[in-house]
Amino acid sequence: MRVSASHQGITLWSMASHASPVVQLMMVILLALSVVSWTMIFRKWFILKNAYREVERFEDRFWRGANVNQMYAELARNEDRLAGDASVFVAGFREYTRLEKQKGIMPMDIVEGVQRAMRVALSREVEYLETNLSFLATVGSTSPYIGLFGTVWGIMTAFQSFGDMQQATLAHVAPGISEALIATAMGLFAAIPAVIAYNRYADDTERLASRYEIFLDEFSSVLQRQAYVSKGGV
């Protein structure tokens, strides 16, 4: 570590470039984590925004009294692009039409089969919404410690470098400590946005999952009434 760096124009880049190899490695790791987490933050923002828009559009159309058979026919043609309530709806109505054709089946058996199919679809949707949330939580919880490790190592290296000096003043030690503290700053820079994004997106995901669950229960009730009518209440 070069003491002469204190006499140069002090910038973040100059301090980072003069840090010890271990500190520089911690900085590279934190920079990579920050870049990946910001990429996931923006991607998750678009995913959740689209999910809210789709659930509003679908539920508005469904509860306005749209023809269920026509909706199913339209949505089933583009099933690979469905998400949220639409995916739950298609899975449930497909199972209903399959079971309803069976002779001698009880209405409650139809409803139970439909609910199982919809809950499988619901689980897939929630799992998709939760994608990358665990990574953001990991970055938020570990980045400060990675930065702290780099800082502690850098400070140790700075003091060891001046251990043989008869008169080690603050001017000699300060540049090395400043370089080491960059790792802590980078750790916080990576952690804070990840923690904020995780808390926000986890709450959004829970709200969407709750809406999907409510639709599942309401649609189950609709199909239950229809099953009893079609089977004559047997």
Question: What's the confidence (pLDDT) of residue 36?
Answer: 94
Q: CB-based contacts of 5: which residues, under 8 Å, 6+ apart? A: 14, 15, 18, 175, 179
3-state secondary structure 71-134: HHHHHHCCHHHCCCHHHHHHHHHHHHHHHHCCCCCCHHHHHHHHHHHHHHHHHHHHHHHCCCHH
pLDDT at position 112 over 70? yes
pLDDT tens for residues 130-176?
Answer: 988 999 999 999 999 988 888 887 777 766 666 655 565 555 556 66
Helices (H), the chain: 12-17, 21-62, 68-76, 85-100, 107-129, 133-161, 170-230
Choose between 87 and 162: higher pLDDT: 87
